[in-house]
């Protein structure tokens, strides 16, 4: 049986159950927190709040969430471990780096094309997160994450994407990419990953559900990727009813198995002095509010691709990654990839 790495340790893929493919438990800015911003942040209260909300999610029948919070989004596994200790839910952690433009200064000095050159520290970090654990917690990542947004495929995001592609090639680990439908970033991401030899069937194009262009979405799915139909509740970007209508149209045309559904934003985020911000659906998880509109339009939950054989659970997470060997590259690894000492499966 294939195992999937979670915050509480490896679980059999068959135990994943209903899986939400893109859910942030916390999104924070550690530098600001260290300076007391936002002033409204209360660690104990926020942890307790997350426990309450995730228990509500679990009560709806959700068994697994994928949390693609990586460097750049305030990833701090000890906090998530505290929450998960109080909630019977599988949480799949991620490795990678989130930026729309510039890299952290350290990476501007070390790695390919930098003054000091050398191997890319990003690749080493991701392989370590997958094979040994994140930040000394022992929690091994289960997915890779990067971002290409409105500015496009600038040198910083391109370097991260190339590193993700290399680690995916070496390990087979699933990839989730934050994209924007307001430019051609989804297509650019697919081009880069395809040229790298990636298995596009293990790639989720996050946030393409912000589009109602069914033809474009079909084209992305036909290219091999899974569509991240997420951000339900973020009506400022696209109304929930429009999101539902798009999902229904794709299901009717046979694309149910090419989508993964989620909300993809935390109930509360600490991003600045303004403190916590509420969005529609922040206190009532989207799983409760989204399923009925889909069903009303003549589709059962399984036909909509969100129970319990959801595409991410079956197609992405449950497929075995490439086995590692201590003395060489993983079986099937592409040329130039760098192995670690343990398999991320």
The model's confidence at residue 290, banded by pLDDT at 50, 70 and 90, is very low
Instruction: Assign 20 to helix, strand or coil.
Output: strand
ω into 245 cis (within 30 of 0) = no
Are 214 and 250 in contact by the 8 Å Cβ rule? The answer is: yes
**Domains of the chain, residue spans:** 3-317
User: Nearest to residue 90, comparing CAs of 196, 186, 143, 16?
Assistant: 16
pTM summary value? 0.83
Q: How far apart are CA 324 and CA 331, in angstroms?
A: 7
Q: Which CATH number fits domain 3-317: 1.10.3720.10, 3.90.1310.10, 3.20.20.140, 3.30.70.980?
A: 3.20.20.140
Instruction: Assign 83 to helix, strand or coil.
Output: helix
Rg (CA), the chain: 19
Name the maximum alpha-carbon separation found in the chain: 59
**Average pLDDT over every residue of 259-287:** 50
Q: Is pLDDT at 187 greater than 70 in this prediction?
A: yes
**Average pLDDT over every residue of 280-307:** 38
Per-residue pLDDT reduced to its tens digit, 206-252: 999 999 999 999 999 999 999 999 998 899 999 999 999 999 999 99
Q: Is pLDDT at 294 greater than 90 in this prediction?
A: no
Helix-helix angle 214-222:240-252, to 10 degrees: 50
């Amino acid at each position: 049986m294939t195992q999937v790495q979670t915050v509480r340790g490896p679980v059999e893929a068959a135990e994943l159950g209903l899986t939400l493919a893109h859910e942030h438990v916390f999104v924070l800015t550690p530098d600001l927190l260290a300076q007391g911003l936002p002033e409204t942040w209360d660690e104990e209260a926020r942890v307790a709040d997350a426990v309450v909300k995730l228990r509500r999610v679990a009560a709806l029948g959700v068994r697994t969430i994928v949390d693609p919070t990586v460097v750049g989004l305030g990833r701090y596994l000890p906090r998530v471990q505290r929450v998960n200790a109080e909630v019977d839910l599988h949480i799949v952690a991620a490795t990678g780096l989130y930026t729309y433009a510039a890299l952290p200064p350290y990476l501007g000095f070390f790695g390919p094309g930098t003054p000091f050159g050398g191997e890319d520290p990003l690749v080493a970090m991701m392989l370590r997160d997958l094979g040994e654990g994140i930040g000394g917690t022992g929690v091994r990542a289960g997915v890779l994450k990067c971002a290409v947004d409105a500015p496009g495929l600038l040198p910083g995001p391109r370097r991260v994407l190339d590193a993700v592609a290399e680690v995916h090639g070496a390990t087979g680990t699933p990839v989730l990419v934050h994209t924007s439908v307001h430019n051609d970033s989804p297509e650019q991401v697919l081009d880069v990953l395809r040229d790298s030899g990636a298995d596009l069937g293990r790639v989720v194009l996050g946030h393409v559900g912000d589009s109602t262009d069914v033809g474009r979405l079909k084209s992305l799915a036909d290219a091999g990727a899974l569509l991240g139909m997420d951000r339900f509740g973020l009506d400022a970007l696209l109304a929930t009813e429009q999101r539902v209508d798009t999902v229904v149209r794709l299901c009717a045309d046979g694309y149910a198995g090419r989508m993964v559904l989620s909300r993809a934003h935390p109930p509360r985020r600490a991003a600045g002095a303004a403190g916590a911000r509420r969005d529609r659906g922040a206190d009532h998880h989207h799983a409760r509010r989204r399923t009925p509109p889909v069903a009303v339009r003549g589709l059962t939950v399984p036909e909509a691709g969100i129970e319990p054989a959801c595409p991410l659970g079956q197609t992405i997470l449950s497929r075995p990654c490439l086995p590692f060997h201590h003395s060489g590259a993983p079986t099937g690894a592409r040329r130039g990839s760098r192995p670690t000492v343990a398999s991320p499966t």
